Amino acid sequence: MAGVIALTRAELSRLAHNRRYFIFTVAFPVILYLLIGRQVSAHAYGIAFGAYYMISMATFGAFSGALNGNAQRISQEKKEGWIRQLRLTPLPANAYVITKILVSLATTIPAIVIVLLLGRFYGNVHLPGWEWPVIAIVVWFGSTIFAALAVAIGYRFAPEQVQPITLIVYFMFAILGGLWFPLSGFLGKVGQFTPTYEAVKIGSDVIGNLAVPAGLAIGLVAWLGIFVALATLAVRSTAESV
């Protein structure tokens, strides 16, 4: 376990100097919230638009960080032989995957915290004290399950294939999940089955003091199971070639 922790620290230190990662994880959702979050007076998902957009941008930042950067880096490191080198060390066989997930869990937190603080002090979102940590945890869990999907994509595909595949997955879950704007009609009904929508809707129900449907929570856990299964299959299928 000490080796995994040391590798995680090294990954975090290296990521701290990756400007591109933090632009898409923190800067992009913050800018969108500053531009839009306080400008729309409508309602979405039964709550004020500013509160909805706070949740959606926090989810967007964490989701983007968990998926985009991780998948590309994993694929590139596999190609360069870094994963093979780690397997020659005393580290457990699954240390690399565990490290990537731990790093994702840690690096998605800044986007969530910063956007929620903006919602409170810029967007004038006023909530009871207990709702803030609940919303943060829901957004965090709903977004970081994509770390497992990043492992699946990064292990399975070459770097030149990862970028278009990740972008397709990224836009699909961002748009259908209602992260940039709430959907209605047919696309809105389809989007209700995405983990991004489920995370935003649970947070919105918490703010609206509504009972959270059990199906939303079960849906997030089910997506986690699907992504973990895909990651496991990808790692096992490439175990001999990496």
Taking only the tens place, the pLDDT of each residue in 143-195 is 888 988 998 999 889 889 998 999 999 999 999 999 998 888 898 999 999 99
Domain carrying residue 18:
2-237
Provide the residue-wise pLDDT of the chain in tens; the chain has 242 residues.
676 777 777 777 777 677 777 777 888 899 999 998 888 778 888 899 999 999 999 999 988 888 887 888 888 888 888 777 777 677 676 777 788 888 888 888 888 999 999 999 998 899 999 999 999 999 999 888 898 899 899 988 988 999 899 999 999 999 999 999 888 889 899 999 999 999 999 999 999 887 788 899 999 999 999 998 998 888 877 765 55
Cα(160)–Cα(127) distance, rounded to whole angstroms?
45
**Cα dihedral angle (83, 85, 89, 93), rounded to 10 degrees?**
30
217 domain residue, yes or no: yes
Distance CA 193, CA 190 (A): 6
Q: Which region holds residue 178: left if phi is over 0, alpha if psi is between -120 and 50, else beta?
A: left
- Read off the pLDDT of residues 56-70 as tens digits, 9 standing for 90 and up: 999 999 888 888 878
Domains in the chain: how many in total? 1
Residues 6+ apart with CB under 8 A from 131: 206, 207
In a domain, 178, yes or no: yes
Instruction: Kindly state whether residue 242 falls inside one of the protein's structural domains.
Output: no
In-domain check, residue 146: yes
In a domain, 45, yes or no: yes
d(CA 16, CA 10): 10
pTM given for the model: 0.88
Give the tokens for residue 39: 């400008």
How many whole angstroms separate alpha carbon 55 and alpha carbon 179? 9
Residue 168 lies in a domain: yes
